Amino acid sequence: MRFAHVMAAGADEPRLVLVEENRAAFVGDLFDGAPESLQDLISRGDAGLAQVSEAAASDVVWHDLDGARYASAVMNPPIVLAVGLNYAAHSSELGLKADTAPTVFTLWPNSLTGHDAITAWPRRLSESVDYEAELGVIVGTAAKDVSAEDALDHVWGYTVVNDITARDIQFSEAQWSRCKSFDGFTPTGPFVVTADEVPDPQDLHIWAVVDGQTVQDASTGQMIRSVATLVSHLSSSATLLPGTLISTGSPGGAGYSRDPQIFLRDRSVVTVGIDGIGELRTNCRIDD
């Protein structure tokens, strides 16, 4: 199944929709007491998905998605965990060593935004803003000290993430949270697909296009640590709560490392995509 958060006409708050092809149904309208957000749906477990599936098989009002305004596919997660240096090509191009343990940091909630949104930042803070296509993993059931063999049983679904980064700040500070947590620096979506739609998260084509130029083109099979390994590792020290978003790292091709370098400019358009999940577009603006 496929879900998104969209803004209904005249509405102030995004609503959860079930997506089929290019049409959507508001989940809150499917039955009395239906979940109104992805977090609510996740908290209901398999029973919640079964209710939505059963209701969607009946007489449902569908809406065209053309021109829809999207919010972040993942809203109000307990935490957003990001993994750095999880592809050998990316760690090499940044001149950073992929250590024996994953590099983990958090992304601030204000950084979350949706598909086709505008992400703006002041030029005085950074002129070295970069893109990173990443697979996002959403935890479904609480995971504590789980094995890699059992880890995927705790995954509810997957989404697309663009991990936007102010490289000059990244290399001037000892931690990476601030450089990646400007307002709007973590677009997600447009969709979240349930785990059954992705039989093997290590067999997905992932790419990024900036202003019409393909700049990243890889496979999630090139991860140094698989999704299962990451979930197991992260759960060893802290319980991963339902709804937690894990951004699993970026393949090679970052703008910082290219010759000449490619940084996001005023009115740059970035599209990152993952086969079977979707394409996420970000519109960039730089404030003077």
Structure tokens at 85: 């240096």
Average of per-residue pLDDT values in the chain: 94
Judged against a pLDDT cut of 80, whether residue 222 lies above it is answered with yes
Angle among Cα 159, 164, 167 to the nearest 5 degrees reads 150
Angle among Cα 82, 88, 89 to the nearest 5 degrees reads 105
pLDDT digits (tens, 9 = 90+) for 18-48: 999 889 999 999 999 999 999 999 999 999 9
Q: How many residues appear in the chain?
A: 288
CA distances from 26 to 23, 61, 62, 178 (A): 10, 8, 8, 35
pLDDT of residue 91: 63
Residues 49, 47: Cα–Cα separation, whole Å: 5
Structure tokens at 167: 């490289």
pLDDT of residue 96: 65
Residues 111, 108: Cα–Cα separation, whole Å: 6
Average pLDDT over residues 210-219: 97
Pair 283, 119: CB distance under 8 Å: yes
CB under 8 A, 24+ apart: contacts of 232-236: 232/146, 232/147, 232/148, 232/151, 233/101, 233/102, 234/81, 234/102, 234/104, 234/143, 235/143, 235/144, 235/145, 235/146, 235/151, 235/154, 236/145
Residue 100 pLDDT class (50, 70, 90 cuts): confident
Least confident of 41-50, 132-141, 250-259: 250-259
Report the first-to-last Cα separation within the chain, whole angstroms.
43
Judged against a pLDDT cut of 70, whether residue 97 lies above it is answered with no
Average pLDDT over residues 86-111: 79
Residues 183, 74: Cα–Cα separation, whole Å: 15
Residue 154 pLDDT class (50, 70, 90 cuts): very high
Judged against a pLDDT cut of 90, whether residue 11 lies above it is answered with no
Residue 94 pLDDT class (50, 70, 90 cuts): low
pLDDT of residue 155: 98
